[in-house]
Structure 1
């Protein structure tokens, strides 16, 4: 058997809303994520924040579905998938609900893990997640009296302020490969650290690994946390590409039915390319605005 679904012609992206319905019917929107679509039109992973549709529209639609679920005596965790596309006549954004998961999903748990590791605060009204970090300055002080022959130097740290940034992450989902268990665990994670694929507890950025029990289960996931979307996209691509390199080095042949690493690698490359294009566009706009501001300032000075 098979399932045939219609696909809009001009798809902007897929969005997932994770909702929790209390036993009394109170619904809370816990997170909104943008799907990483594989070439097979399946969700290969998620990124946050989403940029496909206005948050208010997603929130209202998710709350409406949560209310309908409660009237059907359904409570607990609900994940609703939407597809966002443009109408062919007036290019206006439209959004359709295409799937509902009546359970807590790995993607919803990935958001909770990202919130936990970064200490981010979630605003249920705006959908923004803010990470607050304290900047520390290193300083050196000397210990010992005037008559001491040797003076010990002690490094101290002092807080110089607090910075805020939006929470950005990319989650790979659970990767399956029948030969992940063939990798030497200690050597693999040591190479990951040498490659820079580790988590920095001070900046609260880096890669958090999703392990299903142990690597012997042939499952592995990456949660890449950074300060911007293009950094998350690049970090996810590096992580999946590194895993593929290690599997190739171990001569781990596979069949497509038992492996989704290649599909995610293709999706991660496409996402990284789009992020790079968007980054260049933003830089170009900033430079253009700076040039316009400089021209206006020069013209104002000339008139004076």
Structure 2
């Protein structure tokens, strides 16, 4: 089968299509024929060596999968061959591949009214957004500030926060303001022209998808009972109001999210669809910081 692999750390040019054996299903696992996957910012950080939890190359990137079960390992009762599934996979063999080995407990049934592209765009971004708001205990009537709101996690967090009845304030480039208002944002700040610390009064929650000095700056706009949740490394330090979110597989939550998307109450925006042969180009786009929503990759 074809996979996108890398033999060294580096720029997008290190990604190459190679042949690899098709995986066999281990106990508790299934093998999925890929319908689509997607790019997440962490993919680029792993490729370059900025984060290292996959260890040394060679490895295959990718955490999101939507596809069809083709093999079932011992002990798996949730799925059988032919089932349509989607989910979040954490392995060194990744999802940039024709066939993906996945723990059955990390997958959910794919709703019939979601195509592979839509389903593949959801798992990591949507679960991170949902779990961040849970961690912050965001409640109806509270005010949340979301940084990088037009990105993959951000644009879903805007919608989840609005569904909870929160007042949603965002930072984003001016070109994305109307897009975010359509998703439910109440106020949008152009961070290229305005310092959000002077434009935002007390907020109950900050969801920081930028990191760096946005941490200490965000702490300055929190109200007395405010909570700061970040998915990035920031300079917020050891402040007790700080919590770090890292999206984790959750089939139950993914089923709920799939139902919301299928019912039209939440939408995932796909900025562009490329093939896995164009994985390097997809990484360049991701690292440009100009992607609205998600980048989806389909098989060769």
TM-score by length of 2: 0.29
Greater relative CO (CA pairs within 8 A, separation 6+): 2
Q: Larger % of strand: which? A: 1
Please identify the structure whose Cα radius of gyration is greater.
1
Q: Larger % of helix: which? A: 1
